Structure 1
C-alpha cells in the first residue's frame, strides 16, 4: 500500500463498549427489517448476501499467493510459501491462523515476512476478517488492503482497510487514478447531526491519487485506535462495497451481530460500528461530474495482507514516533538517521537508517528478535467474502 501522511501520535482511547442488547437480530427472511432510526447518516440499500469464499482453519492459506514484491523500499524479504512455512512466518491451526515476522534474512538489512494476495478478486462484496491480535510496535508497517490485479497503481483503485506504522494510529484511505477521478462531497460524507468524518489526508475528499501532491481520500470517524489498541481489542473489521459506496466497520468481538455469525449478514444494521464512509454516488448526484463513474472507481479487487518494515513510511517518520526514537535501537541522531528512501539512494541508506538497524539487529544488541516475537503478528480466526444475492 502507498505511504500515508503522518497522523497525530496521540493514542486514542478505544470506543465505548456497546451492550449485547444492541446486537443486530437474526435475519428474518419473511419480514423486511426497517433501518434503525439512528442510522440516517448513510445509504442502506437493503442488500442480502451469501457466503462466496472463506479462509479458515488448517486450510487458511490454501487460496492465497505468496508475493515477493516490495514497492515500499522496506527492510523486508517476503518469503515464498515453502520458506514462510519453514520459518514459521505462517501457521494454520483448527481455530486460527498466524501471520508473523520471521528471522533475519540471508539478504543483508532484511528480515523475513510474508505478503499474501488472495487468488480470487471481487467486484462489489461484503468482506469481513475476525482477528484477536494485529502487529504493533516500532519499525512495523502492517496492512490489510485491496488492489486491482493487472492495473498500474493507482488506476483500478485501492482501499487501505487497516494500515499503520510505529505508534501512529490506523486510518482507512482510498486511492483512485486519473481515469476515474473522484472527489466526494464533504456535505454528503458529513450529514447534519451525524458523526463527523474528516478527511485525514487533508485532500478535501479528493480520492484521485498522484504523489506527492495528491494523497487520496481518508474520511474517518474519530478517535482513531493506536496500534496497541488494535492489537488488544479482538474485533471484526468489515468492508461493504457496492456500486454506490464503500463502508468500513469495526465490530468488537463481544458485539458481533448474530446475522454475521450465521453467515446471513445484513450490514444495513451495522452503522453503529461504522468507522469510514465513501459515498461516491451520492456525491456525484449532488455535484454532477465530481465522481462521474461511481461504480467503476475500483476494478475487481484482490485482498492483500502483509507486514513490512521501515521503508517509505515507518523509517521516514522514525523521529516523530515517540515510543520508538531513542527508546529502541540506536540513538538518533548520533548513531543513525531517518532515511527517506524516495529521496536518498545513497550506498549507506540501509546501514545508516535507525529503523533498519533496529529491525535487522545484526549483532543482537537491541533485542529485536524477542521484541518482534511478542508483538509482530496477525492472529486471525477467519476471513470471509459475501456476494449480493441480487
Structure 2
C-alpha cells in the first residue's frame, strides 16, 4: 500500500471536491414551448370520454366547449369553465366540464404554470398533472402537480406508479409527507403524496391572492421536484416569473415536494414521456368518497345530488391560465 504524505491531503480533498462539483453540475433547460391564450386550442386535445375517476361530469369536445363558451381565450389569458347555469338531467353523465391533454409529450423537462385562478368549491376535484403518453396507466407513471377536493386549503403533490416505487419519509422538501408508497395498488391508490405547507397553495387562499407559479422539474439524475411561489412572492425566481429562453431549477432553492429516484424508485422503470393534463371533475373516487364528502361539511345530500341541483355554486370553479411553459435539457454549466 502506498503511503500518502500528510502534506498532500489538502490538495487531495480539493481535487475530490472539484471532481464532485463537475459531476453534479447544474442542467440548463431551454424553452421548448410557451403556450398563452388561444395557443391552448392548438396545443391541447379535448378529451370527451367517460371520466376514468367516475365523476359526475360530462367532458365536452372542443367544439362543444367553444359553442357553450366554457373554453375561450381573451388576449393573453385562457379560461375553462364548468356549466354553472343548468340543473343536470337524470341519466346524463353529469355537469359539463373540460379535460384537456397536451399534444406533445415530454420526458426530462421543466414545466412552469402561471395560474391566476383555479377551480374551487364543494364537490370539485380539479387537477393539473402529467401522465404517460404510452401507458397503459399506471405504466409510465403519473405526476400530480396541483390537486385537491372540496374545501381543502393546501395542495397535494403526488406520484402514482407501478409497484416498486417508494419514497423516504424525510427528504429535502419544505412540504409535509403524507404517504410514501407510490404503488397504485396500495392504500386505495393514494400514491406517495406531499402536502404543500402554504395556505395560499390551493383553492380559496390561492384565488384570493391571484394565484401564483407552480413548477415541476424531472430528471433521471435526481428524480422529480415541485415548487410553488404565491403571486408577489419576492423569492419567486426571475426565470420563473418571466418568459425567458432558459431556466435553471438548481437555483430555485428547496422544493415544496421532492421525490428522489434511485434504488427504491428507478426512474426509467417508472417514468417515461408524459402529456400535460388539466381537468375538472365532480365527486368521483376522491371528492365524492363517503369519508371525504362527509368530512367536507358541504351538504347533507349526496355529492352527485349536490352537483346536479346547484349549478350556481360552480360559478367559481374555473381555470384562468396566464401561461404554460415547457423547457427541455440542453447543456451543463
TM-score of the superposition, structure 1-length normalised? 0.70
- CA shift for structure 1 position 296: 3.7
Partners in 2 of 1:110 and 1:221 — Cα distance? 31
Is 2:303 the counterpart of 1:355?
yes
Q: Is the 8 A contact 1:132 1:232 kept in 2?
A: no
The one of 100, 120, 124 aligned to 1:140: 124
The one of 47, 50, 69 aligned to 2:27: 47
Q: Is the 8 A contact 1:100 1:376 kept in 2?
A: yes
1:86–1:175 Cα change, 3 Å: same
The one of 244, 248, 253 aligned to 1:271: 253
Partners in 1 of 2:327 and 2:269 — Cα distance? 19
- CA shift for structure 1 position 216: 1.8
The one of 191, 196, 204 aligned to 1:228: 204
The one of 95, 105, 112 aligned to 2:76: 95
Q: Is the 8 A contact 2:133 2:275 kept in 1?
A: yes
2:231 match: 253
Partners in 2 of 1:57 and 1:213 — Cα distance? 37
- CA deviation string 1:273-325 (max 9, x = no partner): x21011113xx3xxxxx23x234421110000000011112122221003x13
Partners in 2 of 1:98 and 1:218 — Cα distance? 28
1:331-370 matches, within 5 Å, as 332=300, 336=301, 354-361=302-309, 368-370=310-312
1:7 match: none
- CA deviation string 1:350-381 (max 9, x = no partner): xxxx22222221xxxxxx333212x1101001
- CA shift for structure 1 position 163: 0.8
Q: Which residues of structure 1 form unaligned runs of 5+? A: 1-42, 285-289, 326-331, 337-353, 362-367
- CA shift for structure 1 position 232: 2.3
Q: Which residues of structure 2 form unaligned runs of 5+? A: 1-22
- CA deviation string 1:47-99 (max 9, x = no partner): 11111012112332211111023111111000000000011110112120001
Supply the RMSD in Å over aligned alpha carbons.
2.2
Partners in 1 of 2:303 and 2:324 — Cα distance? 31
- CA shift for structure 1 position 213: 5.0
- Higher share of residues assigned strand: 2
2:140 match: 156
- CA deviation string 1:237-294 (max 9, x = no partner): 110011121110112232442223123212112125x21011113xx3xxxxx23x23
- CA shift for structure 1 position 211: 4.7
SS of the counterpart of 2:306? helix
- CA deviation string 1:12-43 (max 9, x = no partner): xxxxxxxxxxxxxxxxxxxxxxxxxxxxxxx9
Q: Is the 8 A contact 2:125 2:283 kept in 1?
A: yes
The structure that has the greater radius of gyration is: 2
SS of the counterpart of 1:48? strand
Q: Is the 8 A contact 1:44 1:268 kept in 2?
A: no
Q: Is the 8 A contact 2:31 2:245 kept in 1?
A: yes
SS of the counterpart of 1:62? helix
Partners in 1 of 2:44 and 2:188 — Cα distance? 34
SS of the counterpart of 1:387? strand
TM-score of the superposition, structure 2-length normalised? 0.82
Moved more, 217-226 or 118-127: 217-226
Q: Is the 8 A contact 2:120 2:317 kept in 1?
A: yes
1:152-231 matches, within 5 Å, as 152-168=136-152, 169-178=154-163, 181-187=164-170, 189-190=171-172, 195=174, 197-201=175-179, 205-212=180-187, 215-223=190-198, 225-231=201-207
**Number of matched pairs:** 295
- CA shift for structure 1 position 221: 4.4
1:147–1:267 Cα change, 3 Å: same
